[in-house]
Amino acid sequence: GAGLAVGAVGGGVAGARVGAADAEAGTAATGAAGGTPSLGSAAVPFHGERQAGILQPAQARVQLAVFDLVPEAGRDGLRRLMQAWSATAARLAAGEPAAEFDNQVALDAGPCSLTVTFGFGASLFDKTGLAARRPEALSPLPDFPGDALDRARSDGDLWVQIGADDALVVFHALRTLQRQASGTAVLRWQATGFGRTPGATERPMTGRNLMGQVDGTNNPKPSSPDFARTVFADGPDWMTGGSYAVYRRIRMLLDNWDNLPTDRQERVIGRRKSDGAPLSGGTETTPVDLAKVNPDGTLAVAADAHVRVAAPSGNGGAAMLRRGFSYQDGLLPDGSPDAGLLFIAFQADPARGFVPVQRRLARGDSLSRFLRHEASGLYAVPPGAPEGGYVGQPLLE
Ligand code: HEM
């Protein structure tokens, strides 16, 4: 998964949770007991070494908005847009109105942990005369077995991830950024998702996805020595300290899934549904013992269990920081739910993260019977901008 996390225990993610990262990432959000008292006033600074929206726990709401530059925009247009967008994102993240195009929709709300994260798609570089500076790591993702991708809801020049703990705050940011882009870039696709609302559970916990699984437990931990090497790029120049975001809209075949008995659902993942503990024993945070054999000689974590096939140990060490959100968009024409996971994973290089893992999952993961990858994107997420600077400045100035 990718989860949905709420900041906690296992450092989860799927969604949201980068637990241990909270403090380091400077989130002011977590109110003492469950978070609600400070929900509105919690603020995440826009400026800093990293862009916001990578290390913070996933918020209750997300909007992904991907824009394409208009043909006449060019590099100058892109530079002006990134300046304007960065200035707006910084103001909104601090709970101030935007300097222009503010429609006052979120007038009564605090920043609610708003983060705005910008990424550049491969197609942006040709349109701005920057093809020579397109990083190798931004090469198109390969096709994977079973992909059913809708290109109209994939790819795109400029990726904007807007997260906050309040839907109106998210919408306000979206509208302001969209109106600022007018004449320079047009919306190509968007997706709306959600995670756990802070305070919904008695104590902060790793979130659950729409299949009901505790999702995000075994994410790389910010405290581990190789965390930065796993998540953040060491070049080229303008990308040093940035990251690569892989996006997949993954529909869940929930009618099939929900009819599967719980013990079979657990075998598909390799973890218990109730508390996320590995089937090899222990609690949620106990390391998975992939070698453990049951008394009857079978593997405790099945050969095709999701956590086995996805584990770094079988993938040459490939790892990524999953920070996804759930989505639900009503019903499809056949009556099945149009719902699933907006999978978002950050890594230093997709060739050592998402790609080798998804190659194995697409072939050997028993979870893949219950999933359809319907859209895809890969974006270079530059490092954060210092006070007074804008995202992408070292590339665009
Ligand atoms: C682990 C669900 C797609 C990579 C997990 C876990 C769950 C889960 C429940 C166990 C808890 C945890 O460690 O987070 C799902 C669902 C998916 C999905 C519902 C699709 C809707 C993917 C994809 C990738 C991926 C597309 C990457 C290509 C991983 C990794 C782990 C993991 C690396 C940790 C494995 C370990 O080292 O223990 N997923 N997953 N997942 N998933 Fe997924």
Distance CA 113, CA 320 (A): 23
Compute the average pLDDT of residues 178-206.
97
Number of the ligand 1 atom closest to the C-alpha atom of 209? 19
Phi, psi for residue 68 in degrees, rounded to 5: -110, 135
pLDDT at 38: 83
pLDDT at 2: 42
Compute the average pLDDT of residues 100-108.
93
User: Does the structure show a pLDDT above 70 at 32?
Assistant: no
ipTM above 0.95 for this complex: yes
**pLDDT over 70, % of the chain:** 91
Compute the average pLDDT of residues 236-250.
98
pLDDT at 85: 98
Residue 308's SS3 state is helix
Choose which residue among 253, 306, 358 to substitute to test ligand 1 binding: the one with the highest number of ligand atoms within 8 A of its C-beta. 306
The backbone region for 335, taken as left when phi is positive above 0, alpha when psi lies in -120 to 50, beta otherwise, is: left
Residue 295's SS3 state is coil
pLDDT at 290: 98
Q: Which region among 8-22, 292-306, 322-336 has the lowest average model confidence (pLDDT)?
A: 8-22
What is the 155 CA–ligand 1 centroid distance (Å)? 22
pLDDT at 9: 33
Cβ distance 365 to 309 under 8 Å?
yes
Give me the active site residues, please.
215
Residue 367's SS3 state is helix
Compute the average pLDDT of residues 152-157.
98
The backbone region for 206, taken as left when phi is positive above 0, alpha when psi lies in -120 to 50, beta otherwise, is: beta
Cβ distance 167 to 39 under 8 Å?
no
340-357 CB burial, b ≥16 within 10 A, e <16: bbbbbbbbbbbbbbbbbb
Whole-model pTM?
0.93
What is the 150 CA–ligand 1 centroid distance (Å)? 22
The mean predicted confidence, pLDDT, of the chain is: 92
3-state helix/strand/coil string of 141-187: CCCCCCCCCCHHHCCCCEEEEEEECCHHHHHHHHHHHHHHCCCCEEE
What is the 84 CA–ligand 1 centroid distance (Å)? 36
What is the identity of the amino acid at 214? V
Please give the structure tokens belonging to residue 35: 């978070």
Residue-wise pLDDT for 62-99, tens only, equals 999 999 999 999 999 999 999 999 999 999 999 999 99
Q: How many CA atoms lie within 13 A of 340 on its CB side?
A: 25
